[in-house]
Amino acid sequence: MQDLHNWLESAIKPVPRSQTVEVGGAEVHFLRWPGPDRPAQPRPGVLFVHGHAANAHWWDWTAPALLDRFDVVALDLSGNGDSDHRDVYTSHLYAEEMLAVAAAAGLQRPILVGHSFGGTLARLACHLHPAAFRALLLVDSALPAHRSRRPPPPLPRSRVRHYESLDAAVQRFRLRPPQPAPDPAILRHVADHSVLREPDGYRFKLDPGIFARMTAEPDYPDAHSMLAAMTIPCGLVYGARSRFFPPETVEAVQHLFAPDRLRGVANAHHHLFLDEPRLSITTIRDVLISLLEDD
C-alpha cells in the first residue's frame, strides 16, 4: 500500500496550470500540464473529458504519465469542477466547450478522451465536428445499441447543501455508480477537488440542478451506428469488472474497434483509473499511441 502512496505522490507532482475560456456566456475552466522543454518529437494533443459529477483533477495522475509523448489538457465541463453553472445544458454546448478549450490551449485536432458520461459527450462532439478531432478514446463509456424513444422523466432540482468543514463534506463524497472503494488516498484526492469553500460553508462543486436543466437531445443515431460511421479512429478502454461491460457487451462491440484499440483493465470497475491507476495509465497510453497510427 505504501508503494501505491509513494507512486501517487510522485505521479501528481507535475502541477497543471489553470486557465479559463468563455463559451456561450460561461467561463469554462481547464488544466494544462507542462511538457518537456525540448520534446524529442512534436507532441499531438490529448483533451480529457471527465464523467458526471467529476472534474479535470480526476486525471491528475494519468495526464503527467503521457507528457513525454502528448500535449495534455483536461477541462471542467460547465456545471462541474471550477467551471460556471448554466441555466441550460446541451450536448451542443458541451461540444462547443471542447472545441473552445482545444483552441485556447493551442491543441490542433486533439485526441478526445472521455470517461463515462464524458465519453458520451465526447462521442457526440466527434459526431458533430469530425474534422476537429484526430481520434476518439472512450473510457468505460456505455454504448447502448439502441436509443430509447421514450423521454426521460423530469428530474427535481436538488438544493445546495453546505457542510461545516472540508472533512464533513468529503465524508459525504460517493462514487456514482457505486463500486468497491479505491485506496483512501486516491479517493481523498478526487473528493478534495470536488468541494468548494463559500461563506456559508463547504459545498460540492457540481451544479445540483444539472440534469434538471439538461435539454432533450436531438434524434442522434444510437452509439453503435454513430461509431460505425465515424471517419476518425476510435478506441475503448473498459474495466474488466465494470457493470457496463460484462463479457456479452464486450463481444457485442468488438466489431466497432480494431483489436489493439479495445482493451480491458484487469480487476478494474467503472472508475478504472481510481482502482487500477497504473495499469489504466499503461493501457490508455498504448491505445492512444495505436490511434496515432491512422493519422
Using DSSP's 3-state secondary structure scheme, residue 58 falls into helix
What is residue 169's predicted lDDT score, i.e. its pLDDT?
Answer: 86
Q: Per the structure, how many domains does the chain have?
A: 1
Q: Is residue 31 part of a domain?
A: yes
Q: Is residue 184 part of a domain?
A: yes
What is residue 149's predicted lDDT score, i.e. its pLDDT?
Answer: 52
> Per residue in 229-250, pLDDT tens?
999 999 999 999 999 999 999 9
What whole-number distance in Å separates Cα of residue 162 and Cα of residue 155? Answer: 21
> Per residue in 283-292, pLDDT tens?
999 999 999 9
CB 200 within 8 A of CB 162: yes
What is residue 120's predicted lDDT score, i.e. its pLDDT?
Answer: 96
> Per residue in 127-168, pLDDT tens?
999 999 999 999 999 999 876 555 444 545 567 888 989 888
Q: Is residue 150 part of a domain?
A: no
What is residue 155's predicted lDDT score, i.e. its pLDDT?
Answer: 46
> Per residue in 256-268, pLDDT tens?
999 999 999 999 9
Q: Is the preceding omega at residue 130 within 30 degrees of 0, hence cis?
A: no
83 alpha carbon, distance to own chain's centre: 15
User: Angle between the 2-11 and 184-192 helix axes, to the nearest 10 degrees?
Assistant: 30
> Per residue in 24-71, pLDDT tens?
999 999 999 998 877 667 899 999 999 999 999 999 999 999 999 999
What is residue 129's predicted lDDT score, i.e. its pLDDT?
Answer: 97
Q: Is residue 151 part of a domain?
A: no
Grid cell digits, residue 279 = 495499469
- 133, 138, 109: which is closest to 51 by C-alpha? 138
Q: Is residue 216 part of a domain?
A: yes
Q: What is the pTM of this model?
A: 0.94
What is residue 158's predicted lDDT score, i.e. its pLDDT?
Answer: 63
Structural domain that includes position 214: 2-143+163-292
> Per residue in 162-205, pLDDT tens?
898 988 888 888 888 888 888 889 999 999 999 999 988 999 99
Q: Is residue 156 part of a domain?
A: no
Q: Is residue 288 part of a domain?
A: yes
Using DSSP's 3-state secondary structure scheme, residue 139 falls into strand
Q: Is residue 174 part of a domain?
A: yes
Return the CATH number at 267.
3.40.50.1820
State the virtual CA torsion across 262, 264, 239, 4 in degrees, nearest 10.
-130
> Per residue in 91-100, pLDDT tens?
999 999 999 9
